[in-house]
Structure 1
Amino acid sequence: MDWLLRIPATDDFDSVMALNRLDEPLLQHSIREGKTVSELRRHGGAKVIAAAQPIWAEDQIIGSVLIKQSGNRVVTIKHATLSRFVILFLGVFLFLAIAIGVFATRLTYRVTRLQRETEQATTTDGRLLQDYIRSGTRAGDELGNLTRSISSMLQNLGQYTRYLEKLPDTLAHEMHNPLNVVNSSLDYLEYQHKDLVDDKYLNRARSGIFRLRTILTSLTEAANLKEALRNERSDEEHFNLVELVTGCVDGYQLSNPSRAFVNHFPTSPLFIHGTPDRIAQLLDKLIDNAVQFGREQSTIIVRINELPNIIQLSIINDGPSLPRELSERVFDPMVSSSTDARHSHLGLGLYIVREIAEFHGATVIAKNRADANGVEVTVNFTKNR
Structure 2
Amino acid sequence: GPPSFWQSLLFERLAGAALSVLPPPAPFAARIHGPDLDAARAGGIAPLWMMARNAEKPGARVRVALPLARPAGAGSNETANTGNQSPLLVVERDADALLVLASDAVLRLTAVSLLIFAATAAVLLAFAWRLSARIRRLQRSAENAVADDGKVVAAPVRLRGSDEIAALSASMASLMDRLRTHQQYLGTLADRLSHELRTPLTMIGSSLDNLSGQVDGGERFDPQQARLYLERAEQGNRRLNRIFRAMSQAARLEEALIDEPFECFDLGGLVRDYCAARRPACASHRLETDIPEQAVVVRGSPDLIAQLLDKLVDNALDFAPPGTQVLLRVGRVGDKVRLEVENEGPPIDPSTAAELFEPMVSWRRSGKRGSGRSPADADQPHLGLGLFIARLIAERHGGSMRAEATSTGSRFGLELSRAEPGNHGPL
Distance 1:116 1:274, change over 3 A: same
Give identity over the alignment, percent: 29
Give the corresponding residue for 2:409.
374
Shift of 1:379: 0.9
Runs of 4+ in 1 over 6 A off after TM superposition: 91-97, 195-198
Shift of 1:201: 3.9
Shift of 1:283: 0.6
SS of 2:354's equivalent in the other structure is coil
Give the corresponding residue for 1:67.
none
Give unmatched runs, 5+ long, in structure 1.
Answer: 1-90, 129-156, 169-178, 183-194
Q: Provide the aligned C-alpha RMSD in A.
A: 4.1
Give the corresponding residue for 2:295.
269
* TM-score, with length taken from structure 2: 0.48
Aligned ranges for residues 10-29 of structure 1 at < 5 Å? none
Shift of 1:92: 10
Q: In the alignment, does 2:314 pair up with 1:314?
A: no
- 1:324-346, Cα deviation, whole Å (9 max, x unpaired): 33123221222222135944221
8 Å CA contact retained: 2:275, 2:288: no
Distance 1:355 1:97, change over 3 A: same
Aligned ranges for residues 130-279 of structure 1 at < 5 Å? 200-232=228-260, 235-279=261-305
Give the corresponding residue for 1:325.
351
SS of 1:249's equivalent in the other structure is helix
Higher relative contact order (CA 8 A, sep 6+): 2
- 1:257-277, Cα deviation, whole Å (9 max, x unpaired): 211111111222222111111
Q: In the alignment, does 2:375 pair up with 1:347?
A: no
Shift of 1:357: 0.7
Give the corresponding residue for 1:284.
310
SS of 1:329's equivalent in the other structure is helix
Shift of 1:208: 2.2
Shift of 1:293: 1.8
Distance 1:243 1:207, change over 3 A: farther
Give unmatched runs, 5+ long, in structure 2.
Answer: 1-116, 139-164, 194-203, 208-222, 367-377, 421-427
Shift of 1:285: 0.5
Aligned ranges for residues 52-67 of structure 1 at < 5 Å? none
SS of 1:358's equivalent in the other structure is helix
Distance 1:247 1:123, change over 3 A: farther
Give the corresponding residue for 1:133.
none
8 Å CA contact retained: 2:265, 2:298: yes
Give the corresponding residue for 2:324.
298
8 Å CA contact retained: 1:196, 1:202: no
8 Å CA contact retained: 1:323, 1:337: no
Distance 1:359 1:94, change over 3 A: closer
Shift of 1:217: 1.8
Give the corresponding residue for 2:172.
118
8 Å CA contact retained: 1:306, 1:312: yes
Aligned ranges for residues 92-111 of structure 1 at < 5 Å? 99-109=125-135, 111=138
* TM-score, with length taken from structure 1: 0.52
8 Å CA contact retained: 2:348, 2:405: yes
Distance 1:97 1:239, change over 3 A: closer
Query: 1:285, 1:93 → 2: CA distance?
Result: 67
